[in-house]
Amino acid sequence: MEPISSVPRDTASTEEQRENKRDKRNWMEKKRETLMVVAVLITTMAFQVAVKPPGGVWQDDVPGDPLNTNPNSHKAGKAILAYKNGARFRQIFRCNTTGFAASLSIILLLCWQVDCHGGIGCLCGF
For the cut 90, the answer to whether the pLDDT of residue 40 exceeds it is yes
Alpha carbons 25 and 32: distance in angstroms, whole number: 10
Taking the whole predicted model, whether its pTM rises above 0.75 is answered as no
Our CA dihedral for 21, 27, 29, 30, rounded to 10 degrees, sits at 160
Alpha carbons 3 and 93: distance in angstroms, whole number: 70
pLDDT at 17: 79
The one-letter code for the residue type at 24 is: K
For the cut 90, the answer to whether the pLDDT of residue 95 exceeds it is yes
